[in-house]
Chain A
Amino acid sequence: MSLPAFAELLERLVFTPGRNAKLALLRDWFATQPDPDRGVGLAALTEELVFTTAKPMLIRDLVAARTDPVLLALSHDYVGDLAETVALIWPERMGVNAEPPTLSEVVEALEVTPKAELPALIAGWLDTLDSGGRLALIKLITGGLRVGVSGRLARVALAEWSGKPVEEIEEIWHGVAPPYLPIFRWLEGQAEKPDPRDAPVFRPLMLAHPLEDRDLAALDPAAYRAEWKWDGIRVQLTAGPGGRRIWSRGGEDISGGFPEITEAMDFHGVLDGELLVIRDGLVAPFADLQQRLNRKQVGPKMLRDYPVGVRLYDLLFEGGEDLRPLPFDERRRRLEDWVARHEPARMDLSPLIAFASVAQLSEVRDGARAASIEGLMLKRADSPYLAGRQKGMWWKWKRDPLSIDAVLMYAQRGHGKRSSFYSDYTFGLWRPDGAGGEELVPVGKAYSGYTDEELGWLDRWIRNHTTSRFGPVREVEKALVLEVIFDAAQLSGRHKSGVALRFPRIARIRTDKPASEADRLENLMAYVEAGPAEG
């Protein structure tokens, strides 16, 4: 009965906004499901196992042969999603008494069944399932589960369930294939920890603490090294005889999205760096990199228009040698040598910034206005490379945010704990309306930065000043000014205002300021970088 159980898990995950509740659902799955189905289900949830065996067309044909075309069209129109329509409308056959398939039966059968026999196989399965089971099956075999469970979240759930540290699970995760039987045996205390050997595995990243004023006061400049904090995405490059992988910060395998990088990884080692869109040595704004994210495949136009590179800042393994216990200075020297020797394509060194005092460093930070730079990284010269966030070893020192006074335009209810509050705010700035007057144009959306009290106040204000509603969204009187802070402003063709904000959040509610005195779009435009930042 594991496919129906999996269907129920999927349904709960789809509707559950809270991280803790998701973790509880996953722990329950690991505790109650048999092998190999719990591992197969886990791989399907995290999309380490993706099927494209059945095309949506096949499913459409199956249902069309079993339903009235007018009723099918009316139903599809009403439900919207084809897979869900099929799951709901599939006629239940009286007298079917076959057991629903287990997850592993589905996976095995898909591998061995000739294409011509797929329709009959799938129809037979659908006949044994209820609507939830049918939806799970269709989504599974057409490759579209999308339930919002990252590999990282799943591994945290495994750690909580088993009591083993998540870093240890991360270390071996990618060395073991679904359904992860050696991992489950180890987590249940029935076997030794699996040894990944040569397999390309993700090594847990070393992370930085935000630098507060009191930390700054205690900082000994001689003990630290400084680098730019780049506004890209953190990646780990792993290459060797076992294969090549690009891992995201959370340990997801994102190699498929960046073929030009994997092609350049003809070395044996593990590197830490920042993935950026780089044109002629200049780093483009984050919005450009966004074009390349979350893609399983990329076309030639993407590769040409948004070329990516990796700015390297650490070397974890050289060949089979684990450099992580070495102090930062030593690893840095090895990294510099390594880059000089290999001259890897599409990779360069993130430079060190020389400084003599905290005051000088502070000046450097304030002077960095390029959109591609978020601030500074400070790394202790003697720090080994340790998993996670280690106090006093690495600091991130972001530059001060930019700020505008904007007018609240729309509000939307949040998720999870905040689902009863209007907690997502769309705000706008004034610009000429072309008819001699002024109009507000939306420039961004913020859903953080406020205190609980401010959230309560905003929620009340919104409910009392609503002018119209569209589903979960309320339009409000254009009367409330919010001070919005953000890290950078970048030109964007996809926004009505022509500009996109990086990490906007609410700093203050300006009840003291009338809406007419809020900022104008041109004030924001003054913050936009003239061109791509220098690297």
Chain B
Amino acid sequence: MGCTGAAQGQASFTMPHPETWLRVTPDGLLCEPGGFFIDPVRPVERAVITHGHADHARPGHRSVLATPETLAIMRARMGEGAGDSQQEMRHGEVLRQGDVTIRLVPAGHVLGSAQVVMEWRGSRAVVSGDYKRQADATCLPFEPVPCDVFVTEATFALPVFRHPDPAHEVAKLLRSLALFPERTHVVGCYALGKCQRLITLLRAAGWDRPIHLHGAQQPLCRLYEQLGVPLGELRPATVANKAELRGAIVLAPPSAIADRWARRLAEPVTALASGWMRVRQRAKLRGVELPMVISDHADWPDLNRTIDEVAAPEVWVTHGRDDALVHALAGRGIRGRALHLVGLGEDEDEAVASEGAPAA
């Protein structure tokens, strides 16, 4: 495959192996010559943050480098905790940190999400954070960057995970609304990213009525609109307007759909938008009536396609089903390495452990 030395476009035996400058530490992934961590799990001096999900963007770092959108999301979610000093970096900008050059490249996961592209002495590493390849009207599309080591997630790294066209899933919801026009359709979706993407998908499918939001979904929807993502008419889903909620779509956090809150709605049909909904048992355990397979993570074909496109001879897997992915890569002559990073994989699409047990 001969893709070593992607940064210079030529093979070089003097080029340092990525393991010598990118290390797994208890605080997270450390770029040693640059002196910064990427998505660290504990407060550090200097952090580069790929995107605003809570398992990647944690509070309490001294200085934070991220896209303007990610920084805005962090400020909205954690206020003071978003970092003592914040440095915005737009796509296309290049920064030198010690001997290391850094770029942020769109990851297609949620608004502001970025891959961290680092080069040191002719060696290039890409930490992709969470990413997907499906179209998403709320964020910039993923751009593959050729590299010597590609650091990837593996949330849906089993060949059974092939996300269908999300328009097909939204059409199922709309057919159910036509069949049960008296019932409130409450859709569980993660508050950051999935919720807003779902709204744009509904709008694209021609649903121009107001969409109702559980309280937990409202601040980030407002922020998305401020950052230039139009969502159409949104209204709070409050008890007072139970009658208005007949035949309406209500978006709520996944933990709320099976809980006391949902009882106040009119004979709710409970839906859940998540990549896990592809497996029946998962959907059954969540008590979901209408599973919607919509994910902000790459599915199995897209993980493999992306790895082939970046043409890295070596792939590091941060979290998820590293066993299956490493096995598949070996079959194509790519060295796979499981990093077992702790603390990742806690957004709704990644969380594997919580099904069944409702969040209190």
Measured CA separation A81–B287 after assembly (Å): 18
Docked complex Cα distance between A68 and B258 (Å) = 38
Q: A67-B159, A71-B324, A79-B160 are in contact. Are A420 and B262 (CB under 8 A)?
A: yes
| Pairwise interchain contact A24-B180, C-beta atoms closer than 8 A | yes
Among A12-20, A39-47, A162-170, A370-378, which stretch is in contact with chain B? A12-20
Known pairs A130-B164, A413-B287, A420-B263; A78 contacts B158 (CB<8 A) = yes
Instruction: Check B172–A75 contact: CB distance below 8 A.
Output: no
Number of interface residues of B (CB under 8 A): 41
Query: Which residue of chain A has its CB nearest to the CB of B281?
Result: A80
Q: Mark B134-163, 1 if CB is under 8 A from A, else 0.
A: 000000000000000000000000111110
Q: Are B287 and A419 in contact (CB under 8 A)?
A: yes
Contacts of A220 in B (CB 8 A): none
Which of the residues B263, B270, B280 comes within 8 Å of A14, measured between beta carbons? Answer: B280
CB distance from B355 to the nearest CB of A (A): 8
Interface of A (DSSP majority class): helix
Tell me, rounded to whole Å, the shortest Cβ–Cβ distance linking B172 to chain A: 7
Q: Is B32 an interface residue (CB 8 A)?
A: no
B279/A79 in contact, CB under 8 A: yes
Among B41-49, B102-110, B235-243, B288-296, the one that faces the other chain is B288-296
B285 touches A17 (CB 8 A): no
Q: Kindly state the separation between the CA atoms of A11 and B168 in the bound complex, as whole angstroms.
A: 14
Give the distance in Å from the alpha carbon of A470 to the alpha carbon of B258 in the complex.
16
Is there contact, CB below 8 Å, between A88 and B262? no
The residue of chain B having its C-beta at the shortest distance from the C-beta of A8 within the complex is B172
Q: Is the CB of B289 within 8 A of A70?
A: no
Nearest A residue to B278 via CB reads A88
A75–B160 touching, CB < 8 Å:
yes
Q: How far is the CA of A471 from the CA of B180 in the complex (A)?
A: 30
| Binary per-residue interface labels of chain B (316-333) against chain A in the complex, 1 for a CB within 8 Å, 0 otherwise | 000001011001100100
What residues of A have a CB within 8 angstroms of the CB of B289 in the complex? 15-17, 21
A472/B287 in contact, CB under 8 A: yes
Alpha-carbon separation in the docked complex, A11 to B280 (Å): 9
Q: What CA separation (Å) do A420 and B161 show in the bound complex?
A: 29
A74/B270 in contact, CB under 8 A: no
Given A75-B160, A420-B263, A15 and B327 contact (CB-CB distance below 8 Å): no
Please provide the chain B residues from 229 to 271 with a CB less than 8 Å away from any CB of chain A in the complex: 258-260, 262-263, 267, 269-270
Report the minimum CB–CB distance from A466 to chain B (whole Å): 9
1/0 per residue, CB under 8 A from B, across A164-198: the answer is 00000000000000000000000000000000000
A17-B289, A74-B158, A413-B258 as given contacts; A469 in contact with B357, CB under 8 Å: yes
Contact A15 B258 (CB under 8 A): no
B1 contacts the other chain (CB 8 A): no
Check A25 for interface membership: any CB of B closer than 8 A: yes
Question: CB-CB < 8 A to B283: which residues of A?
Answer: 15
List, in ascending order, chain A residues with CB within 8 A of B291's CB. Answer: 11, 15
Which of A11, A12, A89 interacts with B160 by CB under 8 Å?
A89
Q: Is A423 an interface residue (CB 8 A)?
A: no
Q: Which residues of A, 383-426, contact B by the 8 Å Cβ criterion?
A: 413, 415, 417, 419-421
Once A67-B159, A88-B160, A131-B278 are accepted as A-B contacts, the answer to whether A15 and B284 lie under 8 Å apart by CB is: yes
Contact partner, B270, options A11, A78, A419, A470, Cβ 8 Å: A419
Judge whether A71 and B328 touch: CB under 8 Å. Answer: yes
CB-based contact B328/A472 at 8 Å:
no
Measured CA separation A252–B179 after assembly (Å): 29
Please give, as numbers and ranges, the residues of chain B lying within 8 Å of A67 by CB-CB distance: 159
CB distance from B47 to the nearest CB of A (A): 34
Q: Are A472 and B356 in contact (CB under 8 A)?
A: yes
The smallest beta-carbon distance between A74 and chain B, in angstroms, is 5
Q: Which residues of B contact A337 (CB under 8 A)?
A: none
Identify the closest chain A residue to B355 (Cβ).
A471
How far in angstroms is the closest Cβ of chain B from A286?
A: 29
Instruction: Kindly state the separation between the CA atoms of A88 and B267 in the bound complex, as whole angstroms.
Output: 32
Cβ contact of A25, chosen from B158, B179, B279, cutoff 8 A = B179
B270 contact set on A, CB distance < 8 A: 419
Distance from B281 Cβ to chain A, minimum over Cβ atoms (Å): 6
Q: Residue A85 at the B interface, CB < 8 A?
A: yes
- Chain B residue with the shortest CB-CB distance to A20: B267
Residues facing A in B328-345 (CB within 8 A) are 328, 331
- A74 to B360, Cβ gap below 8 A? no
Distance in Å from the Cβ of B226 to the closest Cβ of chain A? 34
A465 within 8 A of B: no
Among B179, B285, B328, B357, the residue within 8 A (CB) of A68 is B328
Q: Across the interface, which residues of B come within 8 angstroms of A16, CB to CB?
A: 289
In the complex, whether A463 has a CB less than 8 A from a CB of chain B is yes
The docked-state distance in angstroms from the alpha carbon of A17 to that of B268 is 12
Residue from A17, A419, A463 within 8 A of B258 (CB atoms): A419
Complex Cα distance A81/B160, Å? 12
- CB of A68 within 8 A of CB of B288, answer no
Q: Would you give the shortest CB distance from B53 to chain A, in whole angstroms?
A: 23
Using Cβ atoms and an 8 Å threshold, which residues of chain B touch A439?
none
| A3 CB, nearest partner CB in chain B, Å | 16
Which residues of the other chain, A, contact B279 by a CB distance below 8 angstroms? 78-79, 84, 88
Q: How far is the CB of B25 from chain A (nearest CB, A)?
A: 29
A28 interfacial contact with B, CB 8 Å: yes
A478→B45 CA distance, assembly (Å): 49
The minimal Cβ–Cβ distance linking B133 to chain A, given in whole angstroms, is: 16
Interface residues of B in 27-50 (CB under 8 A from A): none
Query: Is A471 touching B160 in the complex (CB atoms < 8 A)?
Result: no
- Would you call B285 and A472 a contact (CB within 8 A)? yes
A84, A88, A415, A417 interface centre (most CB from chain B within 10 Å):
A88
**Closest CB of chain A to B357's CB: distance in Å?**
5
Within 8 A of B (CB), among A71-115: 71-72, 74-75, 78-81, 84-85, 88-89, 92
A92, A131, A420, most chain B CB atoms within 10 A:
A420
**Which of B161, B179, B323, B358 contacts A28, CB < 8 Å?**
B179
**Is B290 in contact with A24, judged by CB distance below 8 angstroms?**
no
Question: In the complex, how many angstroms separate the beta carbon of A473 from the nearest chain B beta carbon?
Answer: 8
CB distance from A106 to the nearest CB of B (A): 21
Interface residues of B in 264-314 (CB under 8 A from A): 267, 269-270, 278-281, 283-285, 287-291
> How many angstroms from the CA of A11 to the CA of B290 in the assembled complex?
9
| B260 and A420 within 8 A (CB) | yes
* Residues on the B chain within 8 Å of A75, using CB: 158-160, 324
**Pick the contact of B285 from A11, A131, A471 — CB < 8 Å?**
A471
B179 to chain A, nearest CB (A): 6
The reply to whether A89 and B159 form a contact with Cβ atoms under 8 Å apart is yes
Question: What chain B residues lie within 8 Å of A89 (beta carbons)?
Answer: 159-160
Residues of A bordering B, CB below 8 Å? 8, 11-12, 14-17, 21, 24-25, 28, 67-68, 70-72, 74-75, 78-81, 84-85, 88-89, 92, 130-131, 413, 415, 417, 419-421, 463, 469-472
The 3 closest A-B pairs by CB, nearest first: A471-B356, A88-B160, A75-B160
A21-B269, A469-B356 given. 13 additional CB < 8 A pairs?
A11-B291, A12-B290, A15-B291, A28-B179, A68-B159, A70-B327, A74-B327, A75-B159, A131-B164, A413-B287, A419-B258, A471-B285, A472-B285
A-B contact pairs, 13 of them (CB 8 A): A8-B172, A12-B290, A14-B280, A15-B288, A68-B159, A78-B160, A79-B279, A88-B160, A88-B161, A88-B278, A469-B356, A471-B285, A472-B357
